[in-house]
A and B are shown apart, each in its own frame.
Chain A
Amino acid sequence: SQKIEQNSEALNIQEGKTATLTCNYTNYSPAYLQWYRQDPGRGPVFLLLIRENEKEKRKERLKVTFDTTLKQSLFHITASQPADSATYLCALTLTGGFKTIFGAGTRLFVKA
């Protein structure tokens, strides 16, 4: 069956450390993968997009990797801050581009 899995447990880290979130998928052929941030009571906000032929993307303190062999993406936030506390959603857009599937998200708590 097709699945997208993100850490279901919340991730608690200390301010200044690097947060690493995982997204694993099975039986999908994604054209690209996206990461979104969602705060309580708000809609998801786009962070980064990485295509199937790319290994790594960076944007400021954010870095995403995409391994289509392992069927895994890692999302890193370096020098984390309490303001980074939110739910982070992984999303696969399938080949053909018509459909984007979201994972359930991982809640991140950054303690001061």
Chain B
Amino acid sequence: DTAVSQTPKYLVTQMGNDKSIKCEQNLGHDTMYWYKQDSKKFLKIMFSYNNKELIINETVPNRFSPKSPDKAHLNLHINSLELGDSAVYFCASSQEYGQGATEAFFGQGTRLTVV
């Protein structure tokens, strides 16, 4: 019954590898997001998609590539992982974007550790 679900919850990988994080929401929302929360707990937006279209790309290295196969899914693929990519990545969704936007619903997070 989870509203926004991400997999995996934990991901440990070596530098230089490529990995993906999957996200699905069953709330019928039009907008989905990826956020990164670093060790200082700052939650920073990375990408925002509305109806499968990219709305926001926040100067994220192009090693990070989001992909939205449909409105309910927004996956994050990361190439050539670096130590600095270690963080917790959160997927979120909301009903609308723009002035009508409401609260965001977050997944449980994926803790990525690059060694």
Contact = CB atoms under 8 A, between A and B. Distances in A.
Interface of A: 31, 34, 41-46, 49, 87, 89, 93, 96-102, 104-105
Nearest to A44: B106
The 7 lowest CB-CB distance pairs between A and B, nearest first, are A43-B106, A46-B103, A102-B43, A97-B98, A97-B101, A97-B99, A44-B106
Given A96-B99, A99-B56, 12 more contacts: A41-B108, A41-B109, A42-B108, A43-B106, A44-B106, A46-B103, A49-B103, A87-B41, A98-B48, A98-B56, A99-B48, A100-B104
Q: Specify the main secondary structure of chain B where it touches its partner.
A: mixed
Interface of B: 4, 35, 40-45, 48, 55-56, 58, 90, 92, 97-109
B92 A43 contact: yes
Contact of A46 (B99, B105, B109): B105
Contacts, number: 53
Contacts of B58: 99
A96 B98 CA distance: 5
Given A87-B41, A104-B40, A104-B41, A97 B106 contact: no
B41 A105 contact: yes
10 contacts: A41-B108, A43-B92, A43-B106, A46-B104, A93-B101, A96-B99, A98-B97, A101-B45, A102-B35, A104-B41
